[in-house]
């Protein structure tokens, strides 16, 4: 949570002090510039504080989670090895999505469906010759929160939690879940912020306004938002 908060403080400060579009839109007058910037920074910082305080409640497991749900770091799971209670365990996946099993050590199951994760653990017990025909069952006792933060000029800024069966959301649908744009939103310059595999921040400018006018577009032209991403909708300058 603190990492997301820090990321947005850094991001919004950079947007208000400079960057490609702010330099041309800031205007030439200097009398009110600093005051307006300070007010905007204070307002956005307050909004981020409110969003960070809204921790979503744990989701209720769906009945068909075995195929539709993909495990993520911090899920709290029960792993049962049939006929071998001493090998069964209940624990939370670590930050890399790994679980520690007796005899075979750590197994990375992040991004796998529950069924695939069960098969992976069974395979490890067979490969390492501990069990001939293992039967593994995984039950998610508590789902890790999966959400995206939407800040800026939307009607209901805050955290949007992903449905259990969804691993991505169309950015147009995401804006709708956040109440839609305000009257002063700059819908053609929405910022999608993501941390890549190297741990570096990437920002993509998305013309959501154009997308909303062409909802019959094919899947290749859609922009998807994933758990952990952040979206910021700037304000139009008149």
Is residue 163 scored above 90 in pLDDT?
no
Regarding whether 86 and 47 lie in a shared domain, the answer is no
- Does residue 28 belong to any structural domain of this protein? yes
The total domain count for the chain is: 2
Domain-located, residue 73: yes
Bigger pLDDT: 22 or 123? 123
Of residues 70 and 52, more confidence is placed in 70
CB 218 within 8 A of CB 139: no
Region 206-227: what's the mean pLDDT? 80
The more confident residue out of 51 and 151 is 151
pLDDT band at 162 (very low <50, low <70, confident <90, very high): confident
Domain shared by 224 and 157, yes or no? yes
Residue 66 clears pLDDT 70, i.e. is over it: no
Q: Do 72 and 27 lie in a common domain?
A: no
- Against a cut of 0.75, is the pTM above it? no
Segment 193-219 shows an average pLDDT of 80
The answer to whether residues 155 and 180 touch, using CB atoms and an 8 Å cutoff, is yes
Q: Which residue has the higher pLDDT, 46 or 178?
A: 178
pLDDT for 18? 43
Q: Which one has a higher pLDDT value, 24 or 191?
A: 191
Asked if residue 29 belongs to a domain, the reply is yes
Residue 39's pLDDT band (cuts 50, 70, 90): low
Percent of the chain at pLDDT > 70 equals 67
DSSP codes of every residue in the chain: -HHHHHHHHHHHHHHHH-SHHHHHHS-S--TTHHHHHHHHHHHHHHHHHHHHH-PPPPPPPPTTHHHH-B--TT-EEEEEETT-GGG-EEEE--TTSEEEETTTEEEE-TT-BHHHHHHHHHHHHHHTTS-SS--EEEEEEEPPP-EEEEEESBSS-EEEEPPTT-S-EEHHHHHHHTT-B-TTB-TTSEEEEEE-TTS-EEEEEE-HHHHHT-TT--GGG--EE-TT-EEEEPBPP-
Q: Quick check: is 227 in a domain?
A: yes
Q: What is the pLDDT of residue 111?
A: 82
Which pLDDT belongs to residue 215? 59
Same domain, 46 and 157: yes
- Domain membership of residue 123 as a residue range: 65-142
pLDDT over 70 at 34, yes or no: no
Domain boundary among 117, 142, 167: 142
188 backbone dihedrals φ, ψ, rounded to 5°? -95, 5
Burial (CB < 10 A; 0-12, 13-18, 19+), residue 88, is middle
- Measured CA angle at 98 (ends 94, 104), to 5 deg: 130
Instruction: Decide if 202 contacts 180 (C-beta within 8 A).
Output: no
Gap between the Cα atoms of 117 and 138, Å rounded: 8
Least-confidence region, from 74-88, 107-121, 192-206: 192-206
Residue 43 has pLDDT above 50, yes or no: yes
133 and 153 both lie in a single domain: no
| pLDDT per position as a tens digit, 84-102 | 999 999 999 987 889 999 9
In whole angstroms, what is the distance from residue 223 CA to residue 205 CA? 11
User: In this predicted structure, what is the pLDDT of residue 237?
Assistant: 83
Question: 18 or 36, which is more confident?
Answer: 36
> Could you give the C-alpha distances from 125 to 46, 94, 101, 166, 190, in angstroms and in order?
51, 21, 10, 31, 48
> Pairing relation of β-strands 158-161 and 147-152?
antiparallel
On average, the pLDDT of the chain sits at: 78
pLDDT at 10: 44
């Amino acid at each position: 949570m603190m990492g997301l908060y820090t990321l947005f403080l850094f991001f919004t400060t950079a947007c208000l002090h400079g960057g490609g579009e702010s330099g041309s839109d800031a205007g030439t007058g200097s009398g009110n510039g600093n005051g307006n910037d300070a007010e905007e920074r204070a307002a956005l910082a307050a909004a981020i504080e409110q969003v960070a305080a809204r921790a979503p409640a744990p989701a209720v497991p769906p009945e068909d989670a075995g195929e539709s749900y993909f495990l993520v770091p911090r899920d709290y799971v029960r792993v049962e090895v049939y006929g071998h209670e001493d090998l069964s365990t209940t624990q939370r996946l670590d930050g890399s999505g790994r679980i520690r099993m007796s005899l075979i050590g750590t197994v990375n199951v992040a991004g796998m469906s529950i069924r695939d994760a069960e098969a992976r653990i069974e395979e490890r017990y067979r490969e390492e010759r501990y069990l001939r025909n293992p039967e593994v069952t995984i039950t998610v006792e508590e789902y890790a929160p999966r959400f995206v933060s939407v800040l800026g000029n939307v009607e209901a800024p805050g955290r949007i939690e992903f449905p259990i069966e969804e691993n991505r959301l169309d950015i147009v649908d995401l804006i709708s879940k956040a109440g839609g744009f305000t009257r002063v939103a700059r819908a053609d310059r929405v910022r999608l912020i993501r941390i890549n595999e190297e741990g570096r921040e990437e920002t993509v400018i998305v013309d959501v306004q154009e997308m909303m006018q062409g909802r019959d577009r094919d899947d290749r032209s859609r922009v998807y938002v994933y758990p952990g991403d952040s979206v910021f909708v700037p304000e139009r300058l008149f």
